[in-house]
Structure 1
């Protein structure tokens, strides 16, 4: 279980670093718009941010799954987190 906690913390640090980079990218896009840069160049950066968000989302989901697994193990019921997990995945797919 201690390994799962370490894994969760490592994922948290990774996600936070990704979010800070994304924040910088978004500021860069704002600057580009303010400076009147070409739309094509701006859209390339928007695509990069979208890709970075997808990668961050994967890491967030991974961390969540580790936590669900840990909570299910602690409760002694492997299905304890099933509904919560299904709702999250369903909302993510639908949203």
Structure 2
């Protein structure tokens, strides 16, 4: 997989902003737990954070797939690129 620094600067900045929002969600959940908030409310926020994380992972996978299509010479073979994508999808769906 290409390193993150090979991604377009706007895409990297978007990912960083999304990670900051996820970080804020995690801090908010910690505060909710410290305050003894309702379990249902905490679970709702955990679900939202997980969804945001999943969305970010999906975007990264999409960028990798596009990189493979645009730069086929960077991979030993199409099969190796596909195997790497399958591995990433497998990790994403665990």
Structure-2-length-normalised TM-score = 0.73
CA root-mean-square deviation:
2.6
3-state SS of paired residue (1:81): helix
Q: Which residue of 2 aligns with 1:11?
A: 11
Q: Are residues 39 and 71 of structure 1, via their aligned partners in 2, closer, same or farther at CA, if it must alter by over 3 Å?
A: same
Structure of higher RCO (CA pairs closer than 8 Å, 6+ residues apart): 1
Contact kept in structure 2, 1:8 and 1:67, CA below 8 Å: no
3-state SS of paired residue (2:85): helix
Unmatched tracts of structure 1, length 5 or more = 1-5
Contact kept in structure 2, 1:8 and 1:66, CA below 8 Å: no
Q: Which protein is bigger by CA-based radius of gyration?
A: 1
Cα distance in structure 1, aligned partners of 2:16 and 2:71:
23
- Alignment deviations for residues 21-57 of structure 1 (CA, whole Å, 9 cap, x no partner): 0000000000110111111111111111111112111
3-state SS of paired residue (2:87): helix
Q: Which residue of 2 aligns with 1:55?
A: 55
Q: Which residue of 2 aligns with 1:3?
A: none
How many residues get paired?
89
Moved more, 20-29 or 9-18: 9-18
Contact kept in structure 2, 1:15 and 1:56, CA below 8 Å: yes
Moved over 4 A (4+): 75-78
Q: Which residue of 1 aligns with 2:83?
A: 83
